[in-house]
Homo-oligomer: A and B are copies of this chain.
């Protein structure tokens, strides 16, 4: 059965414009056919189409399933890559594997200085549907690094992925505890600047490594996400 996303369900019982077109024009679904609708907040509704309108496909809810929030939460804060494909790939894969929040920031060494999150939202929605999940992660607009640091609550376990020259920090898999609120900072292609690292460490972020080899920005972001998911398996 096809899964659609209506963040305002059950208050609104029609698909969004994009999903209506997809359901009626592409999938050719008609009145009386069953669909699944999630509100991205843990609810999945079984529904029957009552009006197969390609601008506003209406449905009636016939069943409901609740998926509780996970007992841990993963927030990855990442500097967007120069090549947008790479960050979009990270978002798609992270949503498939499980993530609660994705935040973007501009760092001193960031080549990219503009990021539109509209397309990234769409990719996240599509990955949520593809992997049949009922929770839509929060996607935050890109802000400067210092502003991000100031906005992150001082709770849970907070890490910065960084390998300094003079010591080898603990692997994230060993440094993290289970069932925590995790925040991980992942630097840009040119890595964090020294002042940025100092700023993060002073704010209570702990350095951690993600593996033995040098990883690209988006690979590091995904590795962090999967490490924390696995830890809580």
Measured CB to CB, the residues of A under 8 A from B are: 89, 93, 96-98, 130-133, 171, 173-174, 211-216, 219, 222-223, 226-227, 229-230, 233
Contact = CB atoms under 8 A, between A and B. Distances in A.
B171 A130 contact: no
B173 A215 contact: no
Given A171-B233, A230-B227, A230-B230, A98 B131 contact: no
A156 B221 CA distance: 31
B173 A214 contact: no
A216 B96 contact: yes
Contacts of A130: 214, 216
Given A226-B226, A230-B227, A215 B96 contact: yes
Given A89-B89, A171-B233, 17 more contacts: A93-B222, A96-B215, A96-B216, A96-B219, A97-B213, A98-B211, A98-B213, A130-B216, A131-B214, A133-B213, A173-B233, A211-B233, A222-B222, A223-B226, A226-B226, A226-B230, A227-B230
Contacts of A214: 130-132
Contacts of A96: 213, 215-216, 219
A227 B226 CA distance: 8
19 contacts: A89-B89, A93-B219, A93-B222, A96-B215, A97-B219, A97-B223, A98-B211, A98-B212, A130-B216, A131-B213, A131-B215, A171-B233, A173-B230, A211-B229, A211-B233, A223-B226, A226-B227, A226-B230, A230-B230
A216 B131 CA distance: 8
A132 to B, nearest CB: 5
A87 B213 CA distance: 21
B215 A97 contact: yes
Contact of A211 (B97, B171, B227): B97
A222 B229 CA distance: 14
A80 to B, nearest CB: 17
Contacts of A131: 213-216
